[in-house]
């Protein structure tokens, strides 16, 4: 699911909003750096990838259910999130971004 999420986020958000003030950041949790490379090679994302190998950062916002998708507004307030990745997540994410940017 994580690889699919990366591919969709690249296409649906990162590429679509390249000229907008929308950023995508992926955080890989609990995975050794060597294993991360295979997923990145498949997804080929252009957005920032961060590594939380020991899960300490993730522990401050959750304990399970990955991948998670969060949308923050201009004030860095979480305005939408999902604790799984599915087609309904993708639809709701697009609608959230449309409302926030009014031109998605």
Q: Write the pLDDT tens digit of every residue in 57-79.
A: 888 877 777 788 999 988 889 99
* Spatial separation of the C-alpha atoms in residues 32 and 46, rounded to whole Å: 21
Query: Has this prediction a pTM greater than 0.75?
Result: yes
**What pLDDT was estimated at residue 104?**
44
Within 1-104, residue ranges assigned H as helices are 2-9, 33-43, 87-101
**What pLDDT was estimated at residue 103?**
54
**What pLDDT was estimated at residue 61?**
77
Domain CATH code at residue 33: 3.40.30.10
For residue 83, what pLDDT band results from cuts at 50, 70 and 90? confident
Range of the structural domain that residue 96 is part of: 2-101
Q: Which residues contact 80 (CB under 8 A, 6 or more apart)?
A: 70, 71, 92, 93, 96
Looking at the 3D structure of the chain, how many domains does it have?
1
């Amino acid at each position: 699911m994580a690889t699919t999420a990366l591919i969709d986020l690249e296409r649906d958000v990162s590429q679509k909003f390249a000229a907008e003030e929308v950023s995508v950041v992926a955080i890989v949790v609990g995975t050794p750096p060597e294993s991360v490379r295979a997923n990145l090679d498949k997804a080929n994302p252009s957005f920032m990838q961060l590594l939380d190998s020991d899960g300490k950062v993730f522990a401050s916002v959750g304990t399970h259910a990955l991948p998670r998708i969060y949308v923050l507004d201009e004030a860095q307030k979480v305005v939408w999130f999902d604790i799984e990745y599915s087609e309904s997540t993708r639809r709701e994410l697009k609608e959230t971004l449309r409302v926030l940017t009014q031109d998605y």
